[in-house]
Amino acid sequence: MNLVSALVGLSIAGTAMPMVTQMSLAPVITQKKAANFSVAESKAVAFAAKNEGLMQWTPIPMGCSSPVSLDEDDTAFMITCIEGEGTFRQSASRSFRLAPLEGSTSSGYTAPVSYTAGTFCPLWDPWGVINYNDSHNVQCIPVPYGPWASTYNGEMLW
């Protein structure tokens, strides 16, 4: 190999090295961003799922902002959770709805102030809205049947 070929080859390798380095780090950066997004999203989804249908929200997880109201009745909210710093910072937002207070104007639904202790809704009326609550003069506790039936340990009301 002659000297000119060696110098040309080395100069090309020298100018291409920063691009090669950047390409080799791109998957590592992307994986870290994806990991941070997964953590932020899991916090937001868990908070929204836990608070869906409650009267007021539970304590806010670390790294999440206070829920923001999305409607004039203050029943729909959005929480945003952030994970990571700098280039790796990722955020995720999820919305949830609290149970409207009695007499709410936005819907015809009137939320119960409290459930009747020890009274679970039957299989045929899992929310008590068909006629179980009215006919028994109670506010039954909704029971997650279906895929969540294995977690239910209350009385089976057929």
Identify whether residues 106 and 158 lie together within a single domain.
no
Identify whether residues 102 and 118 lie together within a single domain.
no
Number of domains in the chain: 2
Q: Give me the domain span that covers residue 36.
A: 3-111
Question: What pLDDT does residue 158 have?
Answer: 47
Is the whole-model pTM more than 0.75?
A: no
pLDDT mean over 94-112: 63
Identify whether residues 28 and 64 lie together within a single domain.
yes
**Lowest mean pLDDT segment, chosen from 8-12, 25-29, 41-45:** 8-12
C-alpha distances out from residue 65 to 25, 53, 61, 129, Å? 31, 20, 8, 35
Q: Compute, in degrees rounded to 10, the torsion defined by CA atoms 70, 113, 65, 79.
A: -50
Res 37 pLDDT > 70: yes
Identify whether residues 13 and 45 lie together within a single domain.
yes
Residues 64-102: pLDDT tens digits?
Answer: 998 898 888 788 899 999 999 999 999 999 998 887 655
Identify whether residues 74 and 119 lie together within a single domain.
no
